[in-house]
Chains A and B, each alone.
Chain A
Amino acid sequence: MSEVFKKILKSGFHFMMGNEACALGAIIAGCRFFAFYPITPANEIAEYMSLFLPKVKGLYIQMEDEISSIASVIGASWTGKKAMTATSGPGFSLMQENIGYAVMTETPCVIVDVQRCGPSTGTPPLPLQGDICQARRGSHGEYPIIALAPSSVKDMFMLTIDAFNLAETYRTPVVLLSDALVGHMTESVEIPDSSTIEIVERKRVKNFCKKSQHFLDENVAPMPIFGFGYKAHVTGSTHNGRGFRNVDDPSFVDTLIRTLCAKIEKHKNEIIKVETKDIDDAEIVLLAYGSVARSALHAVKTVRAEGLNVGFVRLVTLWPFAEDIVSDIARKVEKILVLENNMGQIVDKVKEVASNEAEVEFLPPKTLGAIHEPRYVEEYLRGFFK
């Protein structure tokens, strides 16, 4: 990795755009295949990938659409390459079928969605946290997913690396749910020393025999990379641990879905990351994620200085949802105020686990598409304590 650092990036402070940090994080994480179709506000990721990847013998390709971008990423992953694509809402919608295919076939890959205002073409350069539910259930059928929400340029670097590590560990697609604000934000960022960054490689088949199980293990089956004589049979049809299809017997469906879900559920404590601040004595906590968490944290700091007991929770991992942590917090506080730049996509999950213990209220920004102004949130909080 230090070799790669030498070629593309120095440790220390940089003034950098979020989308650039994402591209650099991907290459540091070991990404060597990137497929893309142009879309605002994700273009800079591709621009940097097309510049940097050839320097580390990686592959960059601009595909004919987002469907083929994610498809080629999955194909490349089966040759052993760490692979990623990036897009925004319209492209993310097009990718959904093949994201389901990646879950089904247990293919590690990373999808960056730099969210913009929708529905439809919407307002491309403005942020909206509109794809949270789509990331969870956008593909048909029943399946688990991992999704992370960066709040800063540093997050765009570090969480991209985390996304690859999770994808490799659990042989699953991982979605990085950024937005136009974080993607296009340029700010000071400290790139840590390469020796402090942990990089995970997928478990590969080692001792191959005809009866080897290459799929459907709660503890993640080793991946039979193409070209080594493992005779992998990879299919989006319902299959067993050896990849053999069975579409007659519902018990195969049952085993497949339960095992895929258990693979993530069983390890959720290792997957889920949540940041908290000033919760212990808080009467009310603000719960936010992504770009909105920046406004929330700013507001919390301001009213804390005025002596108001306000706490802060940031969901770094959106899916799987941090239900245990949120329900623990609910037991300690009177109220959880959920801030999202949408009409309420994660608030229902919060209500589900917290509303028996605390009041849960939703606060969208004054103007959707323009994130919560800290003053607006501060006024709400002062009102709460009156």
Chain B
Amino acid sequence: MNEKHPLLKYVREGAIRQPHCSGCGNGIIAQCMLRAIDELQLDIDKIVFVSGIGCSSWIPSPFFNSDVLHTTHGRALAFATGVKLGNPELLTVVFTGDGDGAGIGGNHLIHAARRNIEILTILVNNRIYGMTGGQVAPTTPHGMKTRTTPYGNIENPFDICRLVEVAGASYVARWTTFHVKQLVLSMKKGLLKEGFALIEVVSHCPVQYGKYIGARDPVELLLMLKNLSVQMGEAKSMTAKELEERIVVGEFVDKKEKVGLAKAYKGLLDEVEA
């Protein structure tokens, strides 16, 4: 039993203690990312992890043993834009949540996709503001009761993948914390994508979201995610009514031909020099 975990080499010394609640989906997502890096044999010293504020922003910070920029609420993608353009040789990965990335930082999300900047964004969607105590999010289902919608949510949730797709991203996929194998595969694709890549991970939150849907057991929540999920191919033959409350998973966009922003800028510099 003295064998070390094979991914421990990617964990910062002295940072093993996790800030997440027990049963949180973030541990699964962290492990998927490290597996993707390991399987691709990437040098983690050439990856910069940028995160904002919220539960998911603690996935790389301070846990991942590389350069980590833990920034302000909603702005991770804006900081990451400077990192990527400042040194295009570095792989830039953003961890953000639904509140961080689609609420306060929604503007940066659509503009990063529009620019098609070479950043992989892992958007962890637990459909609630977890860290602040379970307030309604821009991704909370219609009608749901939360701490700040005691009479039910009268607003409608974002479809983050569709939003980013129409804004111009090169790679868009959605999985849940149940789909670990698919998630690792998607992360590998995203890490190598020369354009804006977004993976939405619908995550279970036993402490906040679970409280409001009456399910606190992580395994039960994972099985719920499994049962709610519909593969995108299957979803095509379903009506809008049938898709209500379901989670459509799959790879929505995988473009190869679109030029990323950092590459386009290099082209501009060459042109100016010539």
24 pairs, A vs B, C-beta closer than 8 Å: A54-B268, A54-B269, A59-B85, A61-B85, A63-B111, A68-B81, A71-B71, A71-B78, A75-B78, A75-B79, A75-B80, A75-B86, A76-B82, A79-B82, A80-B86, A98-B72, A226-B90, A229-B45, A231-B12, A233-B12, A233-B68, A234-B67, A234-B69, A235-B61
Which positions 35-77 of chain B face chain A at CB distance < 8 Å?
45-46, 48, 50, 61-62, 65-72, 75, 77
Given contacts A61-B81, A64-B107, contact A232 B86 (CB under 8 A): no
Indicate whether B166 reaches chain A with its CB closer than 8 angstroms. no
A98-B72, A233-B62, A237-B70 known; A59 vs B86 contact (CB < 8 Å):
yes
Contact B87 A226 (CB under 8 A): yes
Q: Known interface pairs A74-B82, A233-B61. Does A98 touch B75 (Cβ–Cβ under 8 Å)?
A: yes
Known: A54-B272, A59-B265, A232-B68. A72 touches B62 (CB 8 A): no
A226-B48, A236-B72, A237-B70 known; A76+B65 contact, CB < 8 A: no
CB distance from B35 to the nearest CB of A (A): 20
> From residue B142, how far is it (CB to closest CB) to chain A in Å?
28
- CA of A97 to CA of B107 in the docked complex: distance in angstroms? 17
* Cβ B72 vs Cβ A55 within 8 A: no
Q: B231 to nearest A CB, angstroms?
A: 34
Q: Which of B46, B50, B61, B272 contacts A227 (CB 8 A)?
A: B46
Is the Cβ of A231 less than 8 Å from the Cβ of B67? yes
B254 within 8 A of A: no
- A245–B72 CB distance below 8 A: no
B48 CB → nearest A CB, Å: 5
A26 at the interface (CB under 8 A from B): no
With A226-B83, A243-B62: A67-B70 Cβ-Cβ less than 8 Å: no
Q: Do B67 and A227 touch (CB < 8 A)?
A: yes
A57's nearest neighbour on chain B, judged by CB, is: B269
- With beta carbons under 8 angstroms apart, the residue of A64, A71, A210 that contacts B72 is A71
Contacts of B12 in A (CB 8 A): 231, 233
Of the four ranges (under 10, 10 to 19, 20 to 34, 35 or more), the interface on chain B belongs to 35 or more
Task: Using CB atoms, name the residue of chain B closest to A245.
Answer: B62
Closest chain A residue, CB of each to CB of B75: A71
A15 within 8 A of B: no
A372 interface contact, C-beta 8 A? no
Q: Which of A54, A65, A244 is packed against the most chain B CB atoms within 10 Å?
A: A54
Q: Which residues of B contact A17 (CB under 8 A)?
A: none
Is there contact, CB below 8 Å, between B81 and A72?
A: yes
| Complex Cα spacing A55 to B13, Å | 43
> Per a CB cutoff under 8 Å, which of A61, A227, A229, A235 touches B87?
A227
A377 and B268 CA atoms in complex are apart in Å by 52
CB-CB nearest in chain B for A210: B13
Query: Which chain B positions have C-beta within 8 A of A235?
Result: 61-62, 68, 70
> Digit string of B247-274 for contact with A (CB within 8 Å is 1, else 0)?
0000000000000000001001100110
Residues of the B chain whose Cβ atoms lie less than 8 Å from the Cβ of A231: 12, 45, 65-67
Q: Is the CB of A83 within 8 A of B82?
A: yes
Within 8 Å by CB of A97, from B45, B72, B82, B111, lies B72
**Interface flag for B89 (CB, 8 Å):** yes
Chain B residues contacting A229 (CB-CB under 8 Å) are: 45
Complex interface bits, B1-39 against A, C-beta within 8 A gives 1, otherwise 0: 000000000001111000000000000000000000000
Task: Find chain A residues with CB under 8 A from B61 CB.
Answer: 233, 235, 245
Tell me if A75 and B81 are in contact (CB < 8 A): yes
- Provide the residues of chain A in CB contact with B268, threshold 8 Å: 54
**What's the A-B contact tally at a CB cutoff of 8 Å?**
134
Interface check B147, CB cutoff 8 A: no
B108 at the interface (CB under 8 A from A): yes
Q: Interface size on A (CB < 8 Å)? A: 44
A33 within 8 A of B: yes
A74 touches B79 (CB 8 A): yes
A227/B45 in contact, CB under 8 A? yes
Q: Distance (Å) between the CB of B9 and the closest chain A CB?
A: 12
Contact of B78 among A72, A79, A234 (CB under 8 A): A72
- Asked whether A68 lies within 8 Å of B78 as measured between CB atoms, the reply is yes
Q: A80-B86, A237-B70 are in contact. Are A75 and B50 (CB under 8 A)?
A: yes
Q: Which of A330-354 contact B (CB under 8 A)?
A: none
The reply to whether B90 and A79 contact each other, CB–CB distance below 8 Å, is yes
In the complex, the answer to whether A64 meets B65 with C-beta atoms within 8 Å is: no
Once A227-B46, A231-B67, A235-B61 are accepted as A-B contacts, the answer to whether A67 and B86 lie under 8 Å apart by CB is no
Determine how close the nearest CB of chain B comes to the CB of A214; give it in whole angstroms. Answer: 11
Q: Closest B-chain residue to A68, C-beta based?
A: B78
- B50 — which chain A residues lie within 8 A by C-beta? 75
Query: In the assembled complex, which residues on chain B have CB atoms less than 8 Å from the CB atom of A232?
Result: 67-68
- Chain B residue nearest to A244 in the complex (CB): B62
Nearest CB on A from B147, distance (A): 23
Q: Is the pair B86, A33 in contact by a Cβ cutoff of 8 Å?
A: yes
Taking CB atoms, residues of chain A closer than 8 Å to B66 are 231
Most chain A Cβ neighbours within 10 Å, of B72, B82, B265:
B82
Closest-by-CB residue of A relative to B77 is A68
Tell me which residues from 44 to 71 in chain A have a Cβ below 8 Å from any Cβ of chain B.
Answer: 54-55, 57, 59, 61, 63-65, 67-68, 71
In the bound assembly, the distance between CA atoms of A33 and B48 in angstroms comes to 18
Q: Which of B45, B87, B269 contacts A80 (CB 8 A)?
A: B87
Which A208-247 residues have a C-beta within 8 angstroms of B? 210, 224, 226-237, 243-245
Q: Is A78 engaged at the interface, CB distance under 8 Å to the other chain?
A: yes
For B46, list chain A residues within 8 Å (CB): 227
Residue A326 interfacial (CB < 8 Å) = no
Closest to A242 in B: B14
In Å, the complex CA distance between A81 and B82 comes to: 10
Contact of B107 among A35, A57, A65, A233 (CB under 8 A): A65
| In contact, A236 and B71 (Cβ under 8 angstroms) | yes
> Which residues of the partner chain A approach B108 to less than 8 Å between Cβ atoms?
64, 68
**Chain A residues, CB < 8 A from B77:** 68
Query: In the complex, which residues of chain B have a beta carbon less than 8 angstroms from the beta carbon of A230?
Result: 67
Q: In the complex, A83→B15 CA distance in Å?
A: 31
